[in-house]
Amino acid sequence: MKRNWEALVLKAMGGRDFRLTVLAVESVDGHYQRLLVEDGGLLEACGVHPTMWIRLWFDDGGRPHQRAYTLVDPDPATGRFSLEFALHDGCAARWASAARVGDTIDATVQGSGFQLPDPAPEHLYLVGDAASLPAVNSLLDAGADIPATVWLEYAHEGEKALAPRARAHHDVTWVPRRDDGRHLVETVCAALSASGDAHYWVACEAASTRAITRHVRRTLGVGRQQLTSLGYWSAR
């Protein structure tokens, strides 16, 4: 597939290209498709960090289209990780639905580089949804000993099939998506408190992410170094 200007820009910005090979296909509650892939040397070349994501390249009616996906359970020793695709209309979902063992897809690594603060925070406040749950799980794994409060927005019950990796000291609340995400914003902002020893991580729908981020920064007065936020998708 011929690449477009986006690929050239990513390459100029230090993007590294790899070819992934599908090793196994699993349906998750009929709403998601989980693919185990061989990484084509990606993990050895780039290393692994919490919330690590890559850009996958799809054929969209003869035009290249890229989407970002978080790595699930990356294993540098075997050169394997999984990817999870929501099954809705779109070229990415169509590709994942039709994927079979042996199929390949191109991936670019550029822009992913998060690390938990050092020294470790005393508490994690995490806000996400089904799209960012793999990243939330990677943070819960990386900070396994850190108490965490987690809010996860869901649009339908099937999204709960992607289970959070909560431990005894992790408090997880599922929040139904209502009023274009305002219910999540109100729920989280009412519960959050300011703490100089915590880290706040927000990654959900773009407008909700912006609203929660404003509250954390302006209302709670949390320092920029204590906050990580990224809109994972846009409703508009």
With a cut of 60, say whether residue 5 has pLDDT above it: no
With a cut of 70, say whether residue 2 has pLDDT above it: no
120-147 mean pLDDT: 95
- Give the contacts of 31 (CB within 8 A, at least 6 positions apart): 86, 87, 156, 158, 159, 161
Same fold, 5-109 and 123-229: no
pLDDT level of residue 158 (50, 70, 90 thresholds): confident
pLDDT at 12: 53
- Token reading at 55: 């850009």
DSSP the chain: ----HHHHHHHHTT-EEEEEEEEEEEEETTTEEEEEEE-TTHHHHH---TT-EEEEEEEETTEEEEEEEE-EEEETTTTEEEEEEE-SSSHHHHHHHH--TT-EEEEEE-S------SSPPSEEEEEEETTTHHHHHHHHHHTTTS-EEEEEEESSGGGGGS-----TTEEEEEEE--GGGHHHHHHHHHH----TTEEEEE-SBHHHHHHHHHIIIIIS---GGGEEE---B---
pLDDT at 8: 56
62-88 mean pLDDT: 93
With a cut of 90, say whether residue 6 has pLDDT above it: no
With a cut of 80, say whether residue 9 has pLDDT above it: no
pLDDT at 14: 64
Domain boundaries, the chain: 5-109, 123-229
Residues 221 and 195 sit within 8 Å (Cβ to Cβ): no
User: For domain 5-109, is the CATH number 2.40.30.10?
Assistant: yes
Give the distance, in angstroms, between the CA of residue 236 and the centroid of all CA atoms in the same chain.
19
Percentage of the residues of the chain whose pLDDT score is greater than 90 = 76
pLDDT digits 0-9 by tens, 16-48:
999 999 999 999 988 899 999 999 999 999 999
What CATH number is given for 123-229 in this structure? 3.40.50.80
pLDDT at 29: 84
